[in-house]
Amino acid sequence: MGYDIGWIIPRLRSPGLLWNCASSITVAVVGLFSKIVIEWLNKTTVYNAEGLARALRRPPGVPLLTVSNHHSCFDDPGLWGVLELRTLLSRRRMRWSLAAHDICFTRALHAAFFALGKCVPVVRGAGVYQPAIDFCIERLNRGEWVHIFPEGRVNVDKEHIRLKWGVGRMIGECSRAPLVLPVWHEGMDRILPNAEPYLLQFRRRALLSVGQPIQLDSLLASLRKSNASEEESRAAITARIQDELLRLRNHTHRRLVAAAGPAADGLLQHRTDILTNPSDDAPYISFGHEMPNGKEKEKEKDI
């Protein structure tokens, strides 16, 4: 019989002063550790860092949902080591993140640590209607930041995985359309390999690409106008998120090849996920202030 996680989400809803103090310390310590590993002990290149900074400076009450691929157990918190210290040290500003209950919440000490670090136990295979998803929707409705790995697991083999519908439910049931920001990264599984002895590595190279906010207003309006069912809405929203992530992935890989040469530092070898491409009708995602010229747009359509 596994560890009983029933106390965690009620405690996250009603934390109390002592819990908040312990959570603030946990978030700060983990954030500083991540920054040391990502920026000091390894080399991480960030494209469109300002896009992420703008999202974190969004107006009060605007929910933020970041979505990314999942290549290593260190993706979260490692990815956020690139943030400014004032964000890393702030429990209020930092993200909520779904974490597998059968990996991160197997013992009392582990459960307390991850819960204090603003991780929410999700039960894989329990569907979209479960307490973890409900809790994340509540946080979004309060204008907070939630991060999700919609693949639903660490993609060790880097194969194409259909995104889970939980992300579609979060967006579809949010009382206010969230700011949805896609992130694609490469190299995190070199910093923490997915093989024993699972030790952090140093002097490795990682790449983090932040896309532009995904425009969902027209899609959401169309779904409401057509009286789409909840299942149809979740499927359509999730498919759109997947398309945008795939486009960002392709753009990131071209950036990687341009920076590291055709070999791309070995990061693109022996992969099957790159065989799947986005739909032709998905809009282009650019980095920061850069807009593609006509030829680059044509190349985007060919991918």
In a domain? residue 2: no
Specify the residue for token string 């956020």.
80
In a domain? residue 41: yes
Which structure tokens are listed for 103?
Answer: 């990996």
In a domain? residue 235: yes
Indicate the pTM of the whole model: 0.90
> Is 150 in contact with 67 (CB distance < 8 Å)?
yes
In a domain? residue 3: no
pLDDT digits (tens, 9 = 90+) for 67-76: 999 999 999 9
Asked whether residue 288 carries a pLDDT value surpassing 50, the answer given is no
Cβ within 8 Å of residue 215, ≥6 positions away: 283
Bridge partners (DSSP) of residue 183 are 68, 210
Determine the Cα–Cα distance for residues 196 and 216; give it in Å rounded to an integer.
41
Number of separate domains in the chain: 1
* CATH assignment of the domain containing 50: 3.40.1130.10
pLDDT digits (tens, 9 = 90+) for 107-151: 999 999 999 999 999 999 999 999 999 999 999 999 999 999 999
* Alpha helices for the chain (secondary structure H): 8-13, 16-35, 49-56, 75-78, 85-88, 101-104, 108-116, 131-141, 166-173, 188-191, 217-225, 230-260, 294-302
pLDDT digits (tens, 9 = 90+) for 18-68: 999 999 999 999 999 999 999 999 999 999 999 999 999 999 999 999 999
Mean model confidence pLDDT for the chain = 90
Asked whether residue 95 carries a pLDDT value surpassing 90, the answer given is yes
In a domain? residue 40: yes
In a domain? residue 214: yes
- Pick from 151, 138, 117, 107: nearest CA to 28: 117
Which of the four pLDDT bands, split at 50, 70 and 90, describes residue 78?
very high
Determine the Cα–Cα distance for residues 66 and 288; give it in Å rounded to an integer.
16
pLDDT digits (tens, 9 = 90+) for 198-246: 999 999 999 999 999 999 999 999 999 999 999 999 999 999 999 999 9
In a domain? residue 1: no
pLDDT of res. 295: 36
In a domain? residue 102: yes
Q: What percent of the chain has pLDDT over 70?
A: 91
Asked whether residue 93 carries a pLDDT value surpassing 90, the answer given is yes
Q: What percent of the chain has pLDDT over 90?
A: 83
Which of the four pLDDT bands, split at 50, 70 and 90, describes residue 1?
low
Asked whether residue 287 carries a pLDDT value surpassing 90, the answer given is no
pLDDT of res. 280: 56
> Is 56 in contact with 183 (CB distance < 8 Å)?
no
Label the pairing between strands 119-122 and 205-210: unpaired
Domain that residue 194 falls in: 8-302
